[in-house]
Amino acid sequence: MRMGNEALLTKLREALGNAAVITDSDVTDSYSRDMMPLAEAGRPLAVVLPSDVDGVQATVRACAEAKVPIVPRGAGSGLSGAANAIDGCVVLVMTKFDRILEIDPANRLAVVQPGVVNLDFRNAVEKHGLFYPPDPASYDWCTIGGNLSTNSGGMCCVKYGVTTDAVLGLEVVLADGSVLRTGRRTVKGVAGYDLAKLFVGSEGTLGVITEATVSLRPLPQAPGTLVAGFDRTEAAGEAVSRVVREGLVPSLMEIMDASSIKAAESYLNTDLGAGSDCQALLLCQSDAGGELAQRELAALEQICLDCGSTMTYATEDLTEGKMLLQARRVVLTALEQYGVWLTDDVCVPRTRIAELIAGCERISEEVGLRIAVVGHAGDGNMHPTIVYAPDSADEFARARRAFDAILEVGLSLGGTVTGEHGVGKIKRDWLAREIGPVGLRVHRQIKQALDPDNLFNPGSMFSPA
């Protein structure tokens, strides 16, 4: 017999303590959505904040018995609605799992709980001369658990890869409440299926990650920075292709289009030195150190000039480099001068960046809304960001149309509908389209095998069969 809601809450309170089970709707509403305005969000039955694996197991078992869905979440910085509540669900908040359990410099690895904030973890390992690459834009408040669930990227990826590249092993609470320890502490290992990489990026649909063993890298050298302005977007795109083709691997390569540059200049009340005809800025860094960094930056600069850059500026000064990068980092905030923003996430082959930006310009004209494109040029991972008036249902509808139109362009260029933000509750139809019926069937088969009662984050990523 199915447990009633009251019985479930009693059971959760017995297992976790009263303070860890919240039903006050003022509080639970604050845990009901992430940062993606497009996604629907339901009202949870309760929000629970377990602080140990026993608590997670007890929550999973009680919810399984009551047939109440669980939506796991971290800080809620996500941009796909994956962490948004479903009506009547239990939101399982992992932020109390906030300990770094081990840092092992001699094996260059760490064991970390999912509730640790990305920046705190970065800072902790940095004290040992070590580097944890994944650096999503929200790195000062997002958690490692959220990063794992969405396979987060950031600006580091062009040289250092995404979250899954750092994951060695995971501890996961499964749908029946049992604990899976998968992966390893060694650099290499092929004992069985790579389950760890299956759970990474599964957006809370297969289990609850309670611990991660991650590999670390040596701390890179302080980066040198290059800025290059272009009066044609195609020229900037060609520069990116040339950088890839010529075998350069900058530690950062970001792009800003004309709308982004204008927004940042206005917000920072400064002139980025790009000139009024500037259509695109490339920001590059090399963290190779010393002469090698100088050579890398010089080679990047030469490629930009060869491709028609109208302005280049290189600096080894760290503070100046940070200031230049600041222009890229503030774009989303800067866009709030004009309205609220809706950021998209699409990844195209690196040779197609200029075409994507051109597509966004066309869509901007069609829907009559400002669209600023910023992105990780070195990966082809672009974030066209649509600005609309917060109080206009019509503009919101047009923003939504633009959001979809951008994905359409991305797919047509051989890209994917999400490079790093995930599918969540906003791109289910797009996922189905990208992966096709066979891909969708395999997703459902795996979900059914590991979570037969559709307990974890049901309806996120893809709909049940």
Q: Scanning residues 377 to 436, which ones bind its own copies (CB under 8 A)?
A: 378-381, 414-423, 427, 430-431, 434-436
- Closer CB to its own copies, residue 151 or residue 259? 151
Cα–Cα dist 78/94, whole Å: 14
Q: What letter would DSSP give residue 143?
A: B
The minimum distance between CB 206 and its own copies, in angstroms, equals: 8
Q: Are 229 and 277 in contact (CB under 8 A)?
A: no
Tokens in use for 171?
Answer: 């501890």
Q: Are 414 and 361 in contact (CB under 8 A)?
A: no
- Closer CB to its own copies, residue 254 or residue 395? 254
Tokens in use for 141?
Answer: 């408040």
Per CB under 8 A, 292 contacts its own copies: yes
The minimum distance between CB 242 and its own copies, in angstroms, equals: 8
The minimum distance between CB 298 and its own copies, in angstroms, equals: 14
- Closer CB to its own copies, residue 18 or residue 436? 436
Per CB under 8 A, 157 contacts its own copies: yes
Q: Which of 20, 148, 134 is nearest to 83 (CA)?
A: 148
Residues 95-134, mask of contacts with its own copies (x by CB under 8 A): ---------xxxxx--------------------xx----
> Phi and psi of 283, rounded to 5°?
-115, 125
Residue 131 bridge partners (DSSP) = 217
> Phi and psi of 265, rounded to 5°?
-65, -40
Per CB under 8 A, 269 contacts its own copies: no
Q: Are 92 and 73 in contact (CB under 8 A)?
A: yes
The minimum distance between CB 3 and its own copies, in angstroms, equals: 25
> Which of 269, 276, 438, 464: binder of its own copies (CB under 8 A)?
438
Per CB under 8 A, 247 contacts its own copies: yes
**Element holding 460 (H helix, E strand):** none
Cα–Cα dist 216/107, whole Å: 9
Contact range with its own copies by CB under 8 A, out of 14-22, 93-101, 289-297, 397-405: 289-297
Q: Which residues contact 184 (CB under 8 A, 6 or more apart)?
A: 168, 169, 191, 213
Per CB under 8 A, 457 contacts its own copies: no
Per CB under 8 A, 464 contacts its own copies: no
- Closer CB to its own copies, residue 18 or residue 247? 247
- Closer CB to its own copies, residue 116 or residue 130? 130
Identify residues 67-96 at the interface with its own copies (CB under 8 A): none
Identify residues 170-199 at the interface with its own copies (CB under 8 A): 174, 178-182, 184-195, 197-198
Cα–Cα dist 165/115, whole Å: 20
Per CB under 8 A, 459 contacts its own copies: no
- Closer CB to its own copies, residue 274 or residue 288? 288
DSSP string spanning 345-393? -EE--GGGHHHHHHHHHHHHHHHTS-EEEEEEGGGTEEEEEEEE-TT-H
Cα end-to-end distance, the chain, whole Å: 25
Identify residues 211-240 at the interface with its own copies (CB under 8 A): 218-219
Contact range with its own copies by CB under 8 A, out of 118-126, 271-279, 288-296, 317-325: 288-296
